[in-house]
Amino acid sequence: MKLTVKAPESVGFQLAPMLDIVFLLLIFFVVTTKFILNEQDLKVKVPTAPKTTEETSRAIDEIIINAREDNGELIITVDREEFTREKLGAMLERMVRLNPDQPVRIRGDAQMTWQMMADVITTCTKAGISQVSFSKQMPKEGQ
């Protein structure tokens, strides 16, 4: 009687699950990078302040307003788009109609005049924004 011996199947490495994980990680990093880039205007240098209170978590739907002064002119950007005060007010009014508790964070340049910062704050309050916060950075060592 002749016996047939089956050769063992070769063990292979499954690439499909590995590719799924890699693509999920890629999507995660692309999405989070987009949020970080939208809020930053690299020309805005926020003022320094020591940590006085516990940091609060930021809202997901928070609007980041970047404000700086350039040759005596107020430059306002939101999501890398430049706005005038009137255009910013109209956009904020639309957002307040959708969400009455719309939070706003103002990233004001440390070198801009107080009057220009007051203009941005006034624009926010006229639009109906009641939750306004400001960005700051921790002082560097030795300051």
- Alpha-carbon gap, residue 33 to 63, rounded angstroms: 16
In which element (H, E) is residue 67 found? Answer: strand 63-70
- What's CA 81's distance to the chain center, in Å? 14
Look up the CATH number of domain 16-48+60-143.
3.30.420.270
Global confidence as pTM:
0.68
Nearest to 117 by CA among 47, 37, 41: 47
Parse the chain into domains and list their residue ranges.
16-48+60-143
Query: Which CA distances in Å does 27 have to 19, 24, 30, 103?
Result: 12, 5, 5, 27
User: Can you say whether residue 20 is alpha, beta or left, with left for phi > 0 and alpha for psi between -120 and 50 degrees?
Assistant: alpha
List per-residue pLDDT tens for the chain, 143 residues long: 677 777 777 777 777 888 899 999 999 888 776 555 556 666 777 777 777 566 666 677 889 999 999 888 999 999 889 999 999 999 999 999 999 999 999 998 888 999 999 999 999 999 999 999 888 877 776 55
Q: What is the pLDDT of residue 25?
A: 93
Q: What is the pLDDT of residue 42?
A: 67
Q: What is the pLDDT of residue 76?
A: 94
Q: Is the Cβ–Cβ distance between 78 and 65 less than 8 Å?
A: yes
